[in-house]
Amino acid sequence: MKPKDDRKVEAIAAAVYRLSARHGLSSVTLADIAREAGVATSTLYVYFKSREVLLDEVYRKAKTATMTRYALKDDPAAPLKARVRRIWLNMVDHRLENQHQMAFLEQFYHSEFISETSRALGLRMAAPFLELLAAGQKSEQLKPLPLPLMGAAIMGLAKETAVLLSRGDLPDNEKTRASAFQLCWDAIKA
């Protein structure tokens, strides 16, 4: 008997990312995915029960990897501002390095395809970050506004910064990042 091939699952996920970025998630068909991943359409059903499950599982994978990446080199002992900066820079860098994946993640999150459990996953994974912000509010370093608003401000600015950097509208260097983060920090600091 032949064991399931993990590399095939990887290839399928990568195909979904690429196609989402290229033509938009809602036009990604199983035939497209299969072709792009180099397998037969029916093979997708060996790994996933249905199109819905496939997308959901790919989403979970990508979301988890993304959140892990955001926490990279985060030092829990560092001061608040340094930690937020670290995470914010991680967001920007990860977006620049994984544009396809992010394209999928965003489209899926805003689509009707996403399941309730997957939507919940997003929130669950963001929890540690929101707790960091909550601590910052308690120590009166951050504005006492609702956490979702604070979080959205930070992520939204990271996203827009990444877009501008990748488009070349902004020079991709330390200075640019520093001033963009300045905007972010000014927004949230108390």
Partner DNA sequence: TATGAATGAGCCTTCATTCAT
Partner DNA sequence: TATGAATGAAGGCTCATTCAT
Residue 149 interacting entry, from DNA, a second copy, none, C-beta within 5 to 8 Å by type = a second copy
113 binding DNA? (CB under 7 A)? no
Q: Is 41 helix (H, G, I), strand (E, B) or coil?
A: helix
DSSP state of 48: -
Nearest to 83 by CA among 148, 156, 153, 133: 133
Output the DSSP codes for 61-114: HHHHHHHHHHTTT--TTS-HHHHHHHHHHHHHHHHHH-HHHHHHHHHHHTSS--
**Pairwise CA distance, residues 143 & 147, whole Å:** 10
Distance in Å, CB of 115 to a second copy, minimum: 13
Using the contact rule CB under 7 A, the part of the chain among 14-22, 50-58, 60-68, 92-100 near DNA is 50-58
Number of residues that bind DNA (CB under 7 A): 24
Give the bridge partners for 142, in sequence order.
189
Residue 142 binding target from DNA, a second copy, none, CB below 5 to 8 Å by type: none
Select the span of 26-34, 59-67, 126-134, 170-178 touching DNA (CB under 7 A): 26-34
C-beta atoms surrounding 100 within 10 Å? 17
Residue 117's binding partner out of a second copy, DNA, none, with CB under 5 to 8 Å set by partner kind: none
Residue 3, interface with DNA (CB under 7 A)? Answer: yes
Q: Tell me how far, at minimum, the Cβ of 40 lies from DNA, in Å.
A: 3
Q: Examine residue 112 and tell whether it contacts DNA (CB under 7 A).
A: no
**Residue window 29-48: x/- pattern of binding to DNA, with contact defined by CB under 7 A:** xxxx------xxxxxxxxx-
By CB under 7 A, name the binding residues for DNA: 1-5, 8, 27-32, 39-47, 50-52
